Amino acid sequence: MVDDMLRTPGAVRDAERWTAHNYHPLPVVISSAEGAWLTDVDGRRYLDFLAGYSALNFGHRHPTLIAAAHAQLDRLTLTSRAFIHDQFADFCRELAELCGKDMVLPMNTGAEAVETGIKVARKWGYQVKGVPAGQANIVVAEGNFHGRTTTIVSFSTDEDARADFGPYTPGFTVVPYGDLDALTAAIDENTVAVLLEPIQGEQGVVVPPEGYLPGVRAVCTERNVLFIADEIQSGLGRTGATFACDHEGVTPDMYLLGKALGGGIVPVSAVVANADVLGVLKPGQHGSTFGGNPLACAVAVEVVRMLATGEFQRRSAELGARLHAGLRELIGKGLVAVRGRGLWAGLDIDPALMTGREACERLAERGVLAKDTHGSTIRLAPPLVVTEEEIDHAVTQLAAILTA
Ligand SMILES: Cc1ncc(COP(=O)(O)O)c(C=O)c1O
């Protein structure tokens, strides 16, 4: 098709004109999708190797999830939490059971789950641990990404995320990620929680050294501090286990979940913990109009059931091994490093060759969509329904752009 007959350039221009520029998307305009594949407004097809930053772990429009959404749309969509609806208890119970915890507090976005976790930890600190009023602190890691609210960006170490959004929320101590001694030294008698991503996604899929997460678990237990695992991106099958913490046999006190929990259809997030932690909240102290709505619960309970079979975790582990083997072959041939677990990889492109952004643009031209982060890094996170052939295809396209 000749260029001036394409719909993409005009659609890109309109999007630029009518939105705040808080994102820098690739110039691809998607109009439909199925499984691991996307189709743009000009009929070009792409393999989705980002999967909505892991919100699409089950692929686009998974039939089970779409059927659950349709059925619920035809019956009941919203009640608010002023009343109880018939999808609520099943979702909360089945998610609590998947996590091995007592109870669930549903919200919508990941950032809301993080905010909820922070509020619960502070209240637990004052009411259970006995921290003096207004003195609670939470230890977090350098390179963290927990969302975009004012409190969360207050403890970001990424200047783009943080600069000019002050005054900042106090009560956070930042330590290097993966350094157990630094984390232990930062804990004092007023520390209520350690908040960590078990793998730092936005930072470039950074896996901490072996033994770090069990070490954090042990020091939290010893010092009566809550271990909050932000599994919003790493959880729900992405790494080849239900949670990234599972790889080291670690159970946090609180799971923060989001993204894939909504099946790529609705925003659903949750805080999952035991009653001695989540039980500190009383009516009126926290909430959300849309949190735990019937449509969200109807879809999310099917997500939980799909994960309960273990099939997606297995696929992620097996196909992830294939993906990582393929990527490792490219080290020294345009890649300088590959990190990750399961179907999740952070690749550092040789900066002498191109930026991460350029790599993603070239991959898009070859029909594979991924996203860059921090200069020369790109992230791959295909839906867990991807096939061996599709993985091989994406790795072949990557090899081609690195040597072109
Ligand atoms: C680890 C982690 N926590 C929290 C968030 C924030 O989630 P949301 O964008 O749904 O607010 C993200 C999003 O990328 C994330 O990766």
Whole-number Å distance between alpha carbons of 93 and 35: 28
Confidence of residue 49 (pLDDT cuts 50, 70, 90): very high
- What is the reported pLDDT for 263? 98
Q: Is the minimum distance from the CB of 53 to ligand 1 under 6 angstroms?
A: yes
For the segment 240-297, what is each residue's pLDDT rounded down to a tens digit? 999 999 999 999 999 999 999 999 999 999 999 999 999 999 999 999 999 999 999 9
- Does residue 114's CB lie within 6 angstroms of at least one atom of ligand 1? yes
Distance of CA 176 to the CA centre of its chain: 21
Q: In angstroms, what is the span from residue 253 Cα to ligand 1's centroid?
A: 19
Instruction: Give the residue, out of 109, 140, 146, with the most ligand 1 atoms within 8 A of its beta carbon, to mutate for a pocket test.
Output: 146
Q: What are phi and psi of 162, to 5 degrees?
A: -110, -40
Domains in the chain (CATH in brackets) are 3-62+312-403 (3.90.1150.10), 76-308 (3.40.640.10)
pLDDT above 90 for 318: yes
Give 327-380 pLDDT, tens digit per residue: 999 999 999 999 999 999 999 999 999 999 999 999 999 999 999 998 999 999
Output the 3-class SS for 42-81.
CCCEEEECCHHHHCCCCCECCHHHHHHHHHHHCCCCCCCC
Cα 360 from Cα 100, distance rounded (Å): 39
Across 301-308, average pLDDT = 99
Asked if residue 379 lies in contact with residue 345, where contact means CB atoms within 8 angstroms, the answer is yes
3 state SS of 32: strand
- Kindly tell me if the per-residue pLDDT of 1 is higher than 60: no
> Residue 4: what pLDDT?
74
Amino acid at the residue 179: D
Q: Measured in angstroms, how far is the CA atom of residue 304 from the centroid of ligand 1?
A: 19
Which atom of ligand 1 is least distant from the CA of 114?
A: 4
Tell which atom from ligand 1 comes closest to the C-alpha of 269.
10
Closest CA to ligand 1's atom 10: 110
Handedness of CA 254, 206, 152, 300 (dihedral sign): negative
For ligand 1, is residue 197 a contact (CB within 6 Å)?
yes
Tokens of 371: 């996203």
Catalytic site positions? 145, 230, 259
Position in ligand 1 atom list of the atom nearest CA 55: 10
Nearest atom (ligand 1) to Cα of 259: 10
Dist. CA 290 → ligand 1 center (Å): 18
CB atoms within 10 A of CB 24: 8
Q: pTM of the full predicted structure?
A: 0.98
Name which residue sits closest to atom 13 of ligand 1, judged by CA: 147
Q: Give the Å distance between the CA of 159 and the centre of ligand 1.
A: 17
- Is residue 111 in contact with ligand 1, taking CB distance under 6 Å? yes
Which amino acid would we find at residue 314? R
The whole-number pLDDT of residue 386 equals 98
- One-letter identity of residue 78: L
Regarding the beta carbon of 315 and ligand 1, being less than 6 Å apart is answered no
For a substitution probing ligand 1, which of 233, 239, 271, 288 has the most ligand atoms within 8 Å of its CB?
233
Instruction: Tell me the average pLDDT of the chain.
Output: 97
The pLDDT tens digits for 71-108 are: 999 999 999 999 999 999 999 999 999 999 999 999 99
Q: Mark out the alpha helices in 279-310 (DSSP H runs).
A: 294-308
Whether 376 and 356 have beta carbons less than 8 Å apart is answered as yes
Percentage of the chain lying above the pLDDT 90 cut: 98
Please give the pLDDT value at position 404: 80
Whose CA is closest to 256, among 58, 117, 96?
Answer: 117
- Check residue 3 and give its pLDDT: 65
The alpha carbon of 3 and the centre of ligand 1 are apart by a number of angstroms equal to 37
From the list 395, 386, 338, the residue with the least C-alpha distance to 363 is 395
Q: 381 CB less than 6 Å from ligand 1?
A: no
| pLDDT, tens digit (0-9, with 9 covering 90-100), for 107-125 | 999 999 999 999 999 999 9
Distance 261 CA to ligand 1 centre (A): 12
Closest C-alpha among 169, 78, 79 to residue 115 = 169
Q: What is the Å distance from ligand 1's center to 230 Cα? A: 9
Output phi, psi for 18, to 5 deg.
-105, 10
Closest residue (by CA) to atom 3 of ligand 1? 146
